[in-house]
Each structure stands twice: as C-alpha cells, then as structure tokens.
Amino acid sequence: MVKICGIGAGYVGGPTMAVIALKCPSIEVAVVDISHSRISAWNSDKLPIYEPGLEEVVKQCRGKNLLFSTDVEKHISEADIIFVSVNTPTKSGGLGAGKAADLTYWESAARMVADVSKSNKIVVEKSTVPVRTAEAIEKILTHNSSKGVKFQILSNPEFLSEGTAIQDLIKPDRVLIGGRDGPEGQEAILKLKGIYDHWVPEDRIITTNLWSAELSKLADNAFLAQRISSINAMSALCEVTGAEVSQVSHALSKNTKIGPKFLNASVGFGGSCFQKDILNLVYICESNGLIEVANYWKQVIKVNDYQKSRFVNRVVSSMFNTVSGKKIAVLGFAFKKDTSDTRKTPAIDVCKGLLGDNACLSIYDPKVSEEQILKDLSLSSAATTTVKQVNIVRDAYEATKDAHGICILTEWDEFKTLDYQKVFDNMQKPAFVFDGRNILNVDKLREIGFIVYSIGRPLHQWQDNMPQPQQA
C-alpha cells in the first residue's frame, strides 16, 4: 500500500489529505502536526477549522485510511510521498522583513524529513513558497540524510478558496505539478499524477518545471488580488460620478477576455494568502533589481489598505463626523463567508479604526469565536470588561439592538434575510447601514427608513436620504 504523510494540519494540509484519502481508498494517509491540541481537534467531533463539507469527508475516512497524529517521525519515516503544508508567513524581522516569506517552518520540516528517512521519498511542496525554494530544500535534504537515500522535490501548489475548499479539491479547475526535467524528476511527477488520476480528468493536470510551478502560485494570487483592488478603485470613482459599481462590474464581466470572477467591490480583500504572496512577489522583484515591477504590485496592497480606511472614514463622516460613544453593530468578522478564518480580515482594520474614534462595537459572526475576535483586536477579556468598547454577541439582533449604525463586513447569507424592519425599530435614530459587501437591497432598506451607504453606489443616493435639519 502506498503511504502518504501530510506535514501540517492547517487550512491546506487537513482538507487536502482528507480528500486524497476519500478519493484513494487504497492509499494510507497520515496527517501529522507537532500541535497536540490541533491533532486532538481533528480527532474529535469539532474540527479545528470550519469548511463546508469537510466534516463529512473526515468522518467518512477517519479510522479507515486517514489518521491524524503527533507521531511525526514515525509517519514521515514510513511514507513514500510527503506533502509539506506548513505555514510560510511574512518575515517580521531581518533581511526582507515585512515582504519576504519566512521559511523557518519549511526548513524545520525538511530537516526532520532528512533525519528520519531511511528510504527514498518524494517531497511535495504544498505551501506557497518563493521561487527556487525547492533548490534550497534539496540542499538540506541531500546534506543531512542517510547515505544512499534519494529525494525528489515536486511543487504542487494549492489553489483553494476558503469556503469552497472541498469542492475546489474534488472538482479542481486544474492541478499543477512541477518537477525536475531529468528521468527521476519525470518519474516522480508521474507518481504524483497517478494519485490525482483517481478523480481529476487528465486534461486538468498540468505539468511544468519546478520554478514555473512555484511562481505560478504567487502569480495566481497576485492576479486575483489585483482584480479586487482594481474594482475597488473603480468603486470610489463610481460613488462620486453617479455610476453604480455593480453595473460597471456586470458590464466588465460580459467581456469574455475579463470574465465575472473577483469583480465584486467590497471593503477590501483579506485571508492568509493575497497580501502575503504579493509582498513576497514584491521582495523577489526588488531582490532582482526590478524596482518598477515591485512598485506596480505594491500598489495593489495600497489600494486595498485605502479601501478599508475609506470605509472607516465614510462611517465617521456620515454619522456627523463622530462615532464617539455610539454603538456600532459589526456583522461579520471572518474575511469571507463560509469560513472561520480571520487572517488579514478587513474587519480588523475597520474595527480598530472605529475604536480609534471611541466607538462602542457590538460584534457578531456565526463562526468566529469571541476569543479569536478579541485576539485579533489585541484585546483581553479583562480589558473589554473594563473599557466596554467591544462586546461579542450571539446573534445579529442582539448586535443591532440600540445601535446607531450597522457595518456589514462579511457576506454571510443570513445577513441578507434578517428582518430589517425589526432591526430598524430597535435601533437609535437616524439608523445607518454601511454595506461593506454590497449584499443588501438598498432600496428596501431606504423604504424602511435606514440611511444606507453601499460601496460603489452614487453618493447622492444616500445623501438624499439623510435627515434634513428642521427649520425654525
């Protein structure tokens, strides 16, 4: 039986290994991690991450050909193919701080593989890594392994979107495998391809050299983030010209050379990948003397930061230039719907911006824990009790009760179907809604009596709805 070991039980490693186990029942799949709490969660009824469909896949395979373990050395030693899905955050210090990828976890994993391997292995990069990382990994493996043990490094980047990760794995639009050009490299590619052949059509499996595969992942996220920043830049122009961003977006989507995806204006993009990978790309460009190219990609990040600060400024300016002491209901904290992930979520910057103006926040998200929200806002439970500026609540109606304004920061479906008449009746007046995801029916809200700001809609539409001062 072929044995696979997945190092890293996070957002990539756990779901990826679970789907391989589901689709390849003859393959034994072990997911290993040094975190005992994380592995315990994977072996429990409450998985450490929320992803639609993941729980069903894990329960179907766990205890059969899928196991989660902290016995890292044992499963690495026994594996034929090792998938490495460890975190590669942006460096916080040293050379390239703030831009370059930190490969500390990757190097640690490679040294572990070298130390315990007694037989030949295929080592697969699943993490997003800088171009030519495979070269460095090869050196670590070959200089630290037992004599006679050979390794082949493959790049097999993930292209998962949180919230749809299981479907992305079961029905991928493409699988990319990069390897060396020689006979051994090509043989390794075929072995990995043979795993995906169990369920992925052959025309969707792309093979390249190592460096093309590594760069393709960075380029993929950079291009997607660029589209979001581009439409968000247009949303600002729409507001002051009378154009509607949804109509502009729809017109663009009908151009087959552009297409409809990632053209929804919002408060900004978040998640673990886009900003990290663009900064990594910037660093690689700068390191190779491509300053103009680096500056081009920096602008994507700057527009994203601008969109978040623009949203905060709109909230404050609309509410008579101050939110001090006012209750603002924040609906949604995850960076997108159908995930509990809050990494780089726009909600963090928006909440901090409002807190900076002394707003009182009442935050509700259906999947993000109170502990995580307080951690992301750099607050402790004790501080929250004392200051009383942040309150994490159990439902949207509790969040909006007695609020002066509502900020929609995640596009959860339940926010579309709330009883907004009930919400309005229980709010302070005038009652404001700031739709940071453009998911609400603005006209209906205005009929109820709300003053509504929706990203990319003409400013006069909400200015006309503002309460007028009474004449003496």
Judge whether 11 is annotated as a binding position.
yes
- pLDDT reported for residue 383: 53
Judge whether 10 is annotated as a binding position.
yes
Split at pLDDT 50, 70, 90, the class of 336 is very high
Split at pLDDT 50, 70, 90, the class of 1 is confident
Lowest mean per-residue pLDDT among 144-148, 342-346, 366-370: 144-148
Going from the C-alpha of 398 to that of each of 330, 331, 392, 426, 431, the distances in angstroms are: 11, 11, 10, 10, 15
pLDDT tens digits, one per residue of 43-78: 999 999 999 999 999 999 999 999 999 999 999 999
Q: Closest Cα to residue 185, out of 114, 124, 115, 106?
A: 124
pLDDT-above-90 percentage for the chain: 91
Judge whether 162 is annotated as a binding position.
yes
Judge whether 178 is annotated as a binding position.
no
Judge whether 341 is annotated as a binding position.
no
Cβ atoms of 25 and 100 closer than 8 Å = no
Q: Residue 255: is its pLDDT beyond 50?
A: yes
What the block records as the tokens of 443 is: 């006209």
Q: Residue 179: is its pLDDT beyond 50?
A: yes
Catalytic site includes residue 273: yes
Q: Closest Cα to residue 408, out of 334, 465, 321, 324?
A: 334
- pLDDT reported for residue 146: 82
Judge whether 407 is annotated as a binding position.
no
Q: Look up residue 261 and give its amino acid.
A: K
- pLDDT reported for residue 466: 54
pLDDT tens digits, one per residue of 75-120: 999 999 999 999 999 999 999 999 999 999 999 999 999 999 999 9
Judge whether 386 is annotated as a binding position.
no
pLDDT-above-70 percentage for the chain: 96
Q: Residue 411: is its pLDDT beyond 90?
A: yes
- pLDDT reported for residue 463: 55
Judge whether 89 is annotated as a binding position.
yes
- pLDDT reported for residue 386: 38
- pLDDT reported for residue 79: 98
Going from the C-alpha of 124 to that of each of 71, 118, 121, 165, 330, the distances in angstroms are: 20, 18, 10, 19, 41
- pLDDT reported for residue 130: 87
**DSSP structural state of residue 30:** E
Judge whether 88 is annotated as a binding position.
yes
What is the pLDDT of the chain when averaged over all its residues? 94
Selected catalytic residue, list 273, 285, 351, 407: 273
Mean pLDDT of the 163-187 span? 96
Split at pLDDT 50, 70, 90, the class of 385 is very low
- pLDDT reported for residue 238: 94
The residue written with tokens 């990826």 in the block is 16
Judge whether 38 is annotated as a binding position.
yes
